[in-house]
């Protein structure tokens, strides 16, 4: 027999709010992508024709989305060609053994790999896969993976603007941050574009960093603290820091995590540098911190995994990052990569107004 309380509960849930139509549309799209057809016992001609028509429709949709994203140019009839966006002439750093380089310059993603292929597309974030076989990019409100040859691997609706992407060292997973309204969500997806899952519904827009074994990655939670998420145990470890974390970098071997706040850099619990941190990363097994030093050139300091200081050197311009075992700096006219290899090369020519949002060497 239903009690008064039970009737109130039924009434309460009956008054629950309705889902947003937009959420339903996105969910339907995701659900249909996940559909795995079970083959009927006998495939007839009709099924073949339907499947072919489906493939044609999907190809048209894919071509349309790529055309809209700028990765593929489609021209029909005598319509006047729009002026193509300016080409970014990105070059691989010499003598560093790099497989590829990706940069977002003035909102356009540019990728160049060793074999000579290159692609350009409008993008909000990007990350190279291991060996630069693919690049994952935030294009409109989707996470898209493209081979540098231009071949489209997958496109996954992200539900918002993708602001940061990190590809796991083993290539099997991608962690990415999406802006939805005023909030940022952290999601992870398989490298083939399947099994997308929400990891944290409130994070900061900082690029996650994968541990060398690809079983965990670090990100910055909404409270500004570094969090290491273990995929195997689905557990989180929160790392204390005196100020909000702005950058993270796991070592390419082992599990040492280098963390930067606006005024200091930490390797594990040890403070390794203070001052305005321009960039952090790893030069092989050396934790590397670039500190802005006012009028003089930035100081780059390296440390053993234990935190013991190893070397310090100055580099020209402003340090953009430490990536692919190289320090990348920006001067008034060039972006340079090198120093540890003693061979510095120009990877991109720039002007004062050129905005370089992301540069990664893989």
Partner 1 sequence: MRRARRGDREAASALFRRYWRDAWRAAYAITGRRALADDVAADGFERAFAALGRFDDRRPFGPWLHRIVANRALDLLRAERRLADEELPDTPDRTPAHAEGDRGLLAAVADLSLERRVVVVLRYGVGMTPKQIADALDLPVGTVNSRLARALEQLRETLEVEHVD
d(CA 260, CA 248): 6
Closest to 250 in 3D by CA, of 193, 344, 175, 138: 175
Q: Does 353 bind partner 1 (CB under 8 A)?
A: no
5 binds partner 1 (CB under 8 A): yes
CB of 180 to partner 1, least distance (A): 7
Among 1, 17, 81, 355, binds partner 1 (CB under 8 A): 17
By CB under 8 A, how many residues form the interface with partner 1?
51
Q: Which of 101, 104, 143 is nearest to 121 (CA)?
A: 104
Q: Residue 87 gets which letter from DSSP? A: P
On whether the CB atoms of residues 267 and 273 are closer than 8 A, the answer is no
In 147-256, which ranges are E strands?
A: 152-157, 161-167, 173-180, 183-190, 197-200, 209-210, 216-220, 226-230, 235-239, 247-250
Q: How far is the CB of 138 from partner 1 (least distance, A)?
A: 18
CB of 37 to partner 1, least distance (A): 3
Our CB check for partner 1 shows the closer of 37 and 116 to be 37
In the set 13, 42, 269, 296, which binds partner 1 (CB under 8 A)? 13
Helix (H) or strand (E) holding 279: strand 276-283
Helices and strands per DSSP (H, E), number in the chain: 3, 28
DSSP assigned state of 98: -
State which of positions 230-269 bind partner 1 (CB under 8 A). 234-236, 238
Instruction: For the segment 277-316, give every residue that binds partner 1 (CB under 8 A).
Output: none
To partner 1, the closest distance from the beta carbon of 33 in angstroms equals: 8
**Span near partner 1 by CB under 8 A; candidates 2-10, 110-118, 258-266, 325-333:** 2-10
**If binding is defined by CB under 8 A, does position 60 make contact with partner 1?**
no
SS3 content of the chain, % helix, strand, coil (to 5): 15, 40, 45
3-state secondary structure of 245: coil
Among 23, 55, 59, 310, binds partner 1 (CB under 8 A): 23
Of the pair 19, 116, the CB lying nearest partner 1 is at 19
| Torsion angles phi and psi, residue 280, rounded to 5 | -135, 160
Q: How far apart are CA 53 and CA 74, in angstroms?
A: 21
Query: What binding mask, one character per residue, do residues 179-218 give for partner 1 by CB under 8 A, x or -?
Result: -x--x-x----------xxx-xxx----------------
Nearest in space to 136 (alpha carbons), one of 86, 188, 179: 188
Binding to partner 1 by residue 76, rule CB under 8 A?
Answer: no
Q: Is 108 a binder of partner 1 (CB under 8 A)?
A: no
CB of 246 to partner 1, least distance (A): 17
Q: Find the binder of partner 1 among 36, 81, 83, 342 (CB under 8 A).
A: 36
| 58 sits near partner 1 (criterion: CB under 8 A) | no
The residues, ordered by sequence, that sit 6+ positions from 261 with a Cβ below 8 Å of its Cβ are: 241, 242, 243, 244, 245, 246, 277
- Tell me the C-alpha distance between 211 and 208, whole Å: 10
Nearer to partner 1 among residue 40 and residue 116 (C-beta): 40
Report, in Å, the least distance between residue 323 CB and partner 1.
29
Task: Please give the Cα distance from 167 to 188 (Å, whole number).
Answer: 10
41 binds partner 1 (CB under 8 A): no
Residues that bind partner 1 (CB under 8 A): 3, 5-6, 8-13, 15-20, 23-24, 26-28, 30-40, 54, 159, 180, 183, 185, 196-198, 200-202, 221-223, 225, 227, 234-236, 238
């Amino acid at each position: 027999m239903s009690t008064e309380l039970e009737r109130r509960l039924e009434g309460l849930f009956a008054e629950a709010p309705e889902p947003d139509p937009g959420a339903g549309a996105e969910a339907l799209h995701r659900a249909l992508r996940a559909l795995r057809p079970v083959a009927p016992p006998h495939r007839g001609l009709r099924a073949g024709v339907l499947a072919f028509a489906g493939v044609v429709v999907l190809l048209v949709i894919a071509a349309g989305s790529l055309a809209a994203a700028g990765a593929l140019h489609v021209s029909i009839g005598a319509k006047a060609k729009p002026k193509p966006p300016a080409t970014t002439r990105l070059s691989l750093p010499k003598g560093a053994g790099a497989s590829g380089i990706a940069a977002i310059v003035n909102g356009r993603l540019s990728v160049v790999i060793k074999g000579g292929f290159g692609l350009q597309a409008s993008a909000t974030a990007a990350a190279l896969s291991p060996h630069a076989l693919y690049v994952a990019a935030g294009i409109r409100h989707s996470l898209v993976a493209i081979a540098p040859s231009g071949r489209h691997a997958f496109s996954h609706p992200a539900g918002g603007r993708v602001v940061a992407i990190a590809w796991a060292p083993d290539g099997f997973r991608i962690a990415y941050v999406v802006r939805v309204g005023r909030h940022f969500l952290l999601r992870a997806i398989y490298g083939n574009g399947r099994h997308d899952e929400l990891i944290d519904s409130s994070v900061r827009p900082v690029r996650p960093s994968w541990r060398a074994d690809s079983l965990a990655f670090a990100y910055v939670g909404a409270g500004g603290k570094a969090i290491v998420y273990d995929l195997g145990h689905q557990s989180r470890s929160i790392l204390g820091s005196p100020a909000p974390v702005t950058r993270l970098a796991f070592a390419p071997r082992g599990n040492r995590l280098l963390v930067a706040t606006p005024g200091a850099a930490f390797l594990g619990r040890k403070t390794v540098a203070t001052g305005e941190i321009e960039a952090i990363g790893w030069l092989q097994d050396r934790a590397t911190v670039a500190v802005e030093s006012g009028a003089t050139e930035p100081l780059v300091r390296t440390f053993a995994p234990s935190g013991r200081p190893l070397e310090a050197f100055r580099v020209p311009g402003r340090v953009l990052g430490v990536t692919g075992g190289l320090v990348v700096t920006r001067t008034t006219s060039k972006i340079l990569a090198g120093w540890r290899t003693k061979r510095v090369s120009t990877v991109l020519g720039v002007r004062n107004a050129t905005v370089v949002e992301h540069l990664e060497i893989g």
